[in-house]
Amino acid sequence: MTRKKLFNLFLILIVGGLGGVLADNLLLPYLATVSPFSKIGFIHRAGNGTTIINPTERIVITENTAVEEAIDKVNPSLVVVQSYQNKQLINQGTGFIITSDGLIITAADLISSKTNYYLIFRDNSTSVAAQVIKRDLENNLALLKIEENNLPVVSLVDLEDLHLGQRIISVGLELIEEEINHFVSIGIIRSISDTTLRVNLTEENPLANGSPLVNVKGEIIGLNLVNWQGLVKIVPAERIKEFIGL
């Protein structure tokens, strides 16, 4: 008796499975052509051969694409900043172009009073000399100038456009053996005030000092100050605007 019940159960499963396959491949596509069945969502999708993507997967794909586009947008405005004493390299970090006529923002601690001159690298083959316009030691900001025009620039975000939990991207540069490499860190905004942004970023590479912190639109949220322990402090875009007089 038990064997018979098991056989019947097995037969029901087989028939049910075949029925489901036939329904998906024959019945539902047919019903999708018949009113009013064609107006039912899952039947209509079956007729179109639509595949449903998991909503979570769709969100991840969209966010990854936005991050990649933000990095591509900000990359042309990034520069390597080098400080020299005579012919010896003293400091190196990242900066970003803030105006098309050659103004560059970076961290003030990259611009030592002991240095004689500064070089800016925008690609792997060329460098230009930079002049220090001013420094703000309290906020650790420095403004440099290079004699070039029609340069790619970035926009600065207003404080009211920032949100807790907002996705952020830090993009830095390093010059190694005459080749510029990009590196990134990704996190979120943890807290917002008029003077400080707190984020959940750490940065192993101290060459990110002076680099921009951007949102997924590629807009500047602030400037990264990175010490040798990898701790990151953010100078908000509002402070940068005040410093350069925007």
Contact 214, 77 (CB under 8 A): no
Give residue 33's pLDDT: 56
Give residue 57's pLDDT: 52
Strand pairing category for 127-136 and 179-192: unpaired
Give residue 28's pLDDT: 45
Count Cβ neighbours within 10 Å for each residue of 105-127 and write b for 16 or more, e otherwise: bbbbbbbeeebeebbbbbeeeeb
Alpha-carbon distance 157 to 139, whole Å?
A: 18
- Tell me the CA end-to-end span of the chain in Å, nearest whole number: 88
Give residue 147's pLDDT: 93
Its pTM stands at: 0.73
- Cα of 92 vs its chain's centroid, Å: 22
| Tokens encoding 121 | 């690298």
Domains within the chain, CATH numbers bracketed: 1-49 (no CATH), 76-145 (2.40.10.10), 154-244 (2.40.10.10)
Range list of β-strands (E), 32-126: 78-85, 88-97, 103-107, 117-121
Range list of β-strands (E), 87-178: 88-97, 103-107, 117-121, 127-136, 141-145, 167-176
Give residue 35's pLDDT: 58
Q: In a structure prediction context, what are the per-residue pLDDT tens digits for the chain, which is 246 residues long?
A: 565 555 455 445 444 444 444 445 444 454 445 555 444 555 455 455 544 445 555 555 576 788 899 999 999 999 999 999 888 999 999 999 999 999 999 999 999 878 888 999 987 668 899 999 999 999 999 999 999 999 999 899 988 889 999 999 999 999 887 789 999 999 999 998 767 789 988 888 899 999 999 999 999 999 999 987 778 899 999 999 999 986
Give residue 156's pLDDT: 93
